[in-house]
Protein backbone atom coordinates (compact mmCIF):
# COMPACT_ATOMS: atom_id res chain seq x y z
CA UNK A 1 0.00 0.00 0.00
CA UNK A 2 1.57 3.28 -1.08
CA UNK A 3 -0.33 5.93 0.96
CA UNK A 4 -1.54 7.51 -2.29
CA UNK A 5 2.12 7.90 -3.25
CA UNK A 6 1.66 5.99 -6.48
CA UNK A 7 0.79 9.36 -8.01
CA UNK A 8 2.90 11.39 -5.63
CA UNK A 9 5.50 12.41 -8.21
CA UNK A 10 2.88 13.91 -10.54
CA UNK A 11 0.95 15.51 -7.68
CA UNK A 12 4.13 17.04 -6.29
CA UNK A 13 5.28 18.42 -9.65
CA UNK A 14 1.85 19.85 -10.43
CA UNK A 15 1.64 21.54 -7.04
CA UNK A 16 5.06 23.10 -7.53
CA UNK A 17 4.56 24.37 -11.05
CA UNK A 18 1.20 25.84 -9.99
CA UNK A 19 2.95 28.20 -7.58
CA UNK A 20 5.36 29.66 -10.19
CA UNK A 21 4.07 32.67 -12.11
CA UNK A 22 5.17 32.71 -15.78
CA UNK A 23 6.67 36.19 -15.48
CA UNK A 24 8.93 34.93 -12.67
CA UNK A 25 10.79 32.78 -15.19
CA UNK A 26 10.75 35.25 -18.07
CA UNK A 27 7.60 34.04 -19.82
CA UNK A 28 4.64 36.22 -20.76
CA UNK A 29 1.95 36.04 -18.13
CA UNK A 30 -0.95 37.20 -20.28
CA UNK A 31 -3.30 35.03 -22.29
CA UNK A 32 -5.78 32.36 -21.31
CA UNK A 33 -4.56 29.73 -18.85
CA UNK A 34 -6.69 26.85 -17.69
CA UNK A 35 -4.48 26.21 -14.64
CA UNK A 36 -2.43 28.52 -12.41
CA UNK A 37 1.31 28.65 -12.77
CA UNK A 38 3.43 27.05 -15.45
CA UNK A 39 2.19 24.66 -18.12
CA UNK A 40 3.91 21.31 -18.52
CA UNK A 41 5.36 22.31 -21.87
CA UNK A 42 6.83 25.44 -20.31
CA UNK A 43 8.55 23.44 -17.57
CA UNK A 44 9.92 21.07 -20.20
CA UNK A 45 11.22 23.95 -22.34
CA UNK A 46 12.91 25.68 -19.41
CA UNK A 47 14.41 22.43 -18.11
CA UNK A 48 15.77 21.46 -21.53
CA UNK A 49 13.81 18.22 -21.98
CA UNK A 50 11.19 17.20 -24.49
CA UNK A 51 7.54 17.84 -23.69
CA UNK A 52 6.73 14.15 -24.14
CA UNK A 53 9.51 13.18 -21.71
CA UNK A 54 8.29 15.61 -19.05
CA UNK A 55 4.65 14.52 -19.45
CA UNK A 56 5.61 10.87 -19.03
CA UNK A 57 7.68 11.80 -15.96
CA UNK A 58 4.79 13.71 -14.39
CA UNK A 59 2.48 10.79 -15.10
CA UNK A 60 4.87 8.42 -13.35
CA UNK A 61 5.52 6.30 -16.42
CA UNK A 62 8.83 7.66 -17.57
CA UNK A 63 12.18 5.86 -17.64
CA UNK A 64 14.81 6.15 -14.93
CA UNK A 65 15.56 9.83 -14.67
CA UNK A 66 19.01 11.31 -14.14
CA UNK A 67 20.14 13.70 -11.41
CA UNK A 68 20.86 16.29 -14.11
CA UNK A 69 17.25 16.27 -15.33
CA UNK A 70 15.84 16.38 -11.81
CA UNK A 71 18.18 19.22 -10.91
CA UNK A 72 17.09 21.15 -14.00
CA UNK A 73 13.42 20.66 -13.16
CA UNK A 74 14.13 21.65 -9.58
CA UNK A 75 15.75 24.89 -10.71
CA UNK A 76 12.75 25.74 -12.91
CA UNK A 77 10.33 25.02 -10.07
CA UNK A 78 12.55 26.81 -7.54
CA UNK A 79 12.72 23.88 -5.16
CA UNK A 80 14.65 24.27 -1.95
CA UNK A 81 17.15 21.60 -0.83
CA UNK A 82 14.55 19.54 1.04
CA UNK A 83 12.10 19.65 -1.86
CA UNK A 84 14.85 18.71 -4.32
CA UNK A 85 15.81 15.66 -2.28
CA UNK A 86 12.15 14.72 -1.98
CA UNK A 87 11.79 14.97 -5.76
CA UNK A 88 14.68 12.54 -6.18
CA UNK A 89 13.08 10.16 -3.68
CA UNK A 90 9.62 10.00 -5.26
CA UNK A 91 10.99 10.00 -8.83
CA UNK A 92 12.80 6.72 -8.22
CA UNK A 93 10.40 4.21 -6.65
CA UNK A 94 12.80 1.31 -7.09
CA UNK A 95 15.49 3.20 -5.19
CA UNK A 96 13.30 4.04 -2.23
CA UNK A 97 13.92 2.39 1.06
CA UNK A 98 12.23 -1.00 1.05
CA UNK A 99 11.27 -1.27 4.70
CA UNK A 100 8.63 -3.83 5.59
CA UNK A 101 5.02 -2.76 5.23
CA UNK A 102 4.59 -3.64 8.92
CA UNK A 103 7.94 -2.64 10.47
CA UNK A 104 9.12 -3.92 13.83
CA UNK A 105 8.41 -1.63 16.79
CA UNK A 106 11.11 0.97 17.26
CA UNK A 107 13.26 0.80 20.37
CA UNK A 108 15.23 3.55 22.08
CA UNK A 109 18.74 2.58 23.15
CA UNK A 110 19.42 2.56 26.92
CA UNK A 111 22.22 5.07 26.41
CA UNK A 112 19.85 7.49 24.70
CA UNK A 113 17.35 7.14 27.55
CA UNK A 114 20.15 7.91 30.00
CA UNK A 115 21.07 10.97 27.95
CA UNK A 116 17.48 12.18 28.14
CA UNK A 117 17.48 11.86 31.91
CA UNK A 118 20.66 13.93 32.26
CA UNK A 119 18.92 16.92 30.61
CA UNK A 120 17.27 18.15 33.78
CA UNK A 121 16.76 21.75 32.63
CA UNK A 122 15.73 21.06 29.05
CA UNK A 123 12.51 19.33 27.94
CA UNK A 124 13.51 16.57 25.54
CA UNK A 125 11.97 13.61 23.76
CA UNK A 126 12.66 11.14 20.95
CA UNK A 127 10.51 10.94 17.82
CA UNK A 128 10.43 7.89 15.59
CA UNK A 129 8.69 6.94 12.35
CA UNK A 130 5.38 8.72 11.72
CA UNK A 131 6.43 11.20 14.46
CA UNK A 132 5.59 8.67 17.16
CA UNK A 133 6.89 9.76 20.59
CA UNK A 134 9.21 6.95 21.73
CA UNK A 135 10.79 8.36 24.92
CA UNK A 136 11.00 11.55 26.97
CA UNK A 137 12.60 13.03 30.06
CA UNK A 138 10.84 14.29 33.19
CA UNK A 139 10.65 17.92 32.09
CA UNK A 140 9.50 16.95 28.60
CA UNK A 141 6.70 14.97 30.23
CA UNK A 142 5.80 17.92 32.48
CA UNK A 143 5.50 20.14 29.39
CA UNK A 144 3.64 17.78 27.06
CA UNK A 145 2.09 15.13 29.32
CA UNK A 146 3.30 12.17 27.27
CA UNK A 147 2.91 9.70 30.15
CA UNK A 148 -0.77 10.65 30.50
CA UNK A 149 -1.54 9.78 26.87
CA UNK A 150 -2.69 6.29 25.91
CA UNK A 151 0.21 4.49 24.25
CA UNK A 152 -1.51 4.50 20.86
CA UNK A 153 -1.96 8.27 20.93
CA UNK A 154 1.66 9.25 21.58
CA UNK A 155 2.04 10.67 18.11
CA UNK A 156 2.61 14.33 17.28
CA UNK A 157 0.29 14.60 14.21
CA UNK A 158 -2.49 12.85 16.10
CA UNK A 159 -2.09 15.26 19.03
CA UNK A 160 -1.95 18.34 16.79
CA UNK A 161 -5.00 17.50 14.69
CA UNK A 162 -7.23 15.27 16.81
CA UNK A 163 -6.68 16.58 20.34
CA UNK A 164 -9.28 19.29 21.00
CA UNK A 165 -6.86 21.06 23.35
CA UNK A 166 -4.13 21.47 20.71
CA UNK A 167 -5.27 24.91 19.55
CA UNK A 168 -5.15 26.12 23.13
CA UNK A 169 -1.75 24.55 23.74
CA UNK A 170 -0.21 26.10 20.60
CA UNK A 171 -1.02 29.82 20.16
CA UNK A 172 0.51 29.55 16.67
CA UNK A 173 -1.45 26.41 15.82
CA UNK A 174 -1.68 27.01 12.03
CA UNK A 175 2.12 27.18 11.75
CA UNK A 176 2.60 24.12 13.97
CA UNK A 177 0.02 22.19 11.94
CA UNK A 178 1.65 23.06 8.60
CA UNK A 179 5.12 22.12 9.88
CA UNK A 180 3.82 18.81 11.22
CA UNK A 181 2.18 17.81 7.93
CA UNK A 182 5.23 18.88 5.91
CA UNK A 183 7.47 16.59 7.92
CA UNK A 184 4.97 13.71 7.83
CA UNK A 185 4.84 14.05 4.02
CA UNK A 186 8.64 13.82 3.95
CA UNK A 187 8.50 10.64 6.03
CA UNK A 188 5.85 9.20 3.70
CA UNK A 189 8.11 9.77 0.70
CA UNK A 190 10.88 7.76 2.37
CA UNK A 191 8.56 4.94 3.48
CA UNK A 192 5.77 4.56 0.89
CA UNK A 193 4.94 0.98 1.95
CA UNK A 194 4.40 1.72 5.64
CA UNK A 195 0.86 0.50 6.38
CA UNK A 196 0.83 2.13 9.81
CA UNK A 197 1.58 5.46 8.18
CA UNK A 198 -1.19 4.87 5.65
CA UNK A 199 -3.58 4.16 8.51
CA UNK A 200 -2.48 7.31 10.33
CA UNK A 201 -2.96 9.47 7.24
CA UNK A 202 -6.40 7.97 6.73
CA UNK A 203 -7.37 8.58 10.35
CA UNK A 204 -6.18 12.19 10.25
CA UNK A 205 -7.89 12.79 6.90
CA UNK A 206 -11.21 11.56 8.25
CA UNK A 207 -10.90 13.46 11.51
CA UNK A 208 -9.56 16.82 10.39
CA UNK A 209 -10.45 19.02 7.45
CA UNK A 210 -7.33 21.08 8.16
CA UNK A 211 -5.17 17.99 7.80
CA UNK A 212 -6.80 17.07 4.47
CA UNK A 213 -6.16 20.57 3.14
CA UNK A 214 -2.53 20.66 4.27
CA UNK A 215 -1.82 17.11 3.06
CA UNK A 216 -3.16 17.99 -0.38
CA UNK A 217 -0.76 20.95 -0.55
CA UNK A 218 2.27 18.60 -0.82
CA UNK A 219 4.60 20.73 1.28
CA UNK A 220 7.75 18.97 2.54
CA UNK A 221 10.03 20.24 5.27
CA UNK A 222 12.79 18.94 7.50
CA UNK A 223 12.32 19.30 11.23
CA UNK A 224 15.75 20.68 12.21
CA UNK A 225 15.40 23.71 14.45
CA UNK A 226 13.00 26.51 15.22
CA UNK A 227 10.87 27.83 18.06
CA UNK A 228 7.42 27.08 19.40
CA UNK A 229 5.12 28.98 21.67
CA UNK A 230 3.14 26.86 24.09
CA UNK A 231 0.46 27.85 26.57
CA UNK A 232 0.93 25.51 29.55
CA UNK A 233 -2.04 25.10 31.91
CA UNK A 234 0.17 25.38 35.02
CA UNK A 235 2.90 27.94 34.25
CA UNK A 236 1.44 29.88 31.32
CA UNK A 237 3.06 30.81 28.02
CA UNK A 238 6.43 29.33 27.09
CA UNK A 239 8.58 30.42 24.16
CA UNK A 240 10.89 27.54 23.41
CA UNK A 241 13.55 27.29 20.72
CA UNK A 242 14.30 23.70 19.78
CA UNK A 243 17.03 21.67 18.13
CA UNK A 244 16.40 18.36 16.37
CA UNK A 245 19.25 15.86 16.04
CA UNK A 246 19.25 12.61 14.07
CA UNK A 247 20.23 9.73 16.33
CA UNK A 248 23.45 8.12 15.09
CA UNK A 249 22.79 4.56 14.01
CA UNK A 250 19.02 5.13 14.08
CA UNK A 251 18.18 7.27 11.03
CA UNK A 252 14.44 7.07 11.75
CA UNK A 253 14.81 8.52 15.24
CA UNK A 254 15.23 12.17 16.19
CA UNK A 255 16.18 13.70 19.52
CA UNK A 256 14.21 16.92 20.04
CA UNK A 257 15.50 19.26 22.73
CA UNK A 258 13.89 22.54 23.78
CA UNK A 259 16.59 25.07 24.55
CA UNK A 260 15.18 28.04 26.50
CA UNK A 261 17.60 30.92 26.95
CA UNK A 262 19.12 30.88 30.46
CA UNK A 263 17.60 33.55 32.67
CA UNK A 264 14.61 34.04 30.37
CA UNK A 265 11.04 34.05 31.58
CA UNK A 266 10.54 30.68 29.90
CA UNK A 267 13.55 29.20 31.73
CA UNK A 268 12.16 30.48 35.04
CA UNK A 269 8.75 29.02 34.30
CA UNK A 270 10.27 25.68 33.32
CA UNK A 271 12.16 25.60 36.63
CA UNK A 272 8.87 26.23 38.41
CA UNK A 273 7.23 23.49 36.34
CA UNK A 274 10.01 21.05 37.19
CA UNK A 275 9.55 21.77 40.89
CA UNK A 276 5.78 21.38 40.58
CA UNK A 277 6.13 18.07 38.68
CA UNK A 278 8.54 16.73 41.29
CA UNK A 279 6.25 17.56 44.20
CA UNK A 280 4.42 14.52 45.57
CA UNK A 281 0.68 14.49 44.96
CA UNK A 282 -1.31 15.37 48.05
Cβ count near 226 (within 10 Å) = 14
Q: Of 171, 176, 145, which Cα lies nearest the Cα of 236?
A: 171
Helix/strand/coil for 231: strand
Per-residue pLDDT, 272: 93
pLDDT digits (tens, 9 = 90+) for 204-241: 999 999 999 999 999 999 888 999 999 999 999 999 99
The side-by-side arrangement of strands in the sheet containing 250-258 is: 133-136, 124-127, 250-258, 236-247, 225-232
Q: Inform me whether the pLDDT recorded for 118 exceeds 90.
A: yes
Helix/strand/coil for 123: coil
- Check: CB of residue 62 under 8 Å from CB of residue 53: yes
CA distances from 71 to 16, 55, 76, 214 (A): 14, 17, 9, 26
Per-residue pLDDT, 104: 72
- Per-residue pLDDT, averaged over 150-175, amounts to 94
pLDDT digits (tens, 9 = 90+) for 191-204: 888 889 999 999 99
- Per-residue pLDDT, averaged over 104-128, amounts to 92
DSSP classification of residue 129: G
pLDDT digits (tens, 9 = 90+) for 71-81: 999 999 999 99
Q: Of 111, 210, 117, 116, which Cα lies nearest the Cα of 157?
A: 210
Cα separation, 257 vs 117, whole angstroms? 12
Give residue 282's pLDDT band: very low, low, confident or very high (50, 70, 90).
Answer: very low
- Per-residue pLDDT, averaged over 251-260, amounts to 93
Amino acid sequence: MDISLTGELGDFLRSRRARIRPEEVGLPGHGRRRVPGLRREEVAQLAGVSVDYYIRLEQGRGPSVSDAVLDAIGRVLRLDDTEQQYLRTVARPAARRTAAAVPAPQRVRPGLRLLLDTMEKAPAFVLGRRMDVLAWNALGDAVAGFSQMPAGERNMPRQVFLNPQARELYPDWPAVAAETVAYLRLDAGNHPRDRQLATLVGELSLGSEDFRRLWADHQVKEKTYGAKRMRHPVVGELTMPYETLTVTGEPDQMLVVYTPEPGSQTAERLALLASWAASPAV
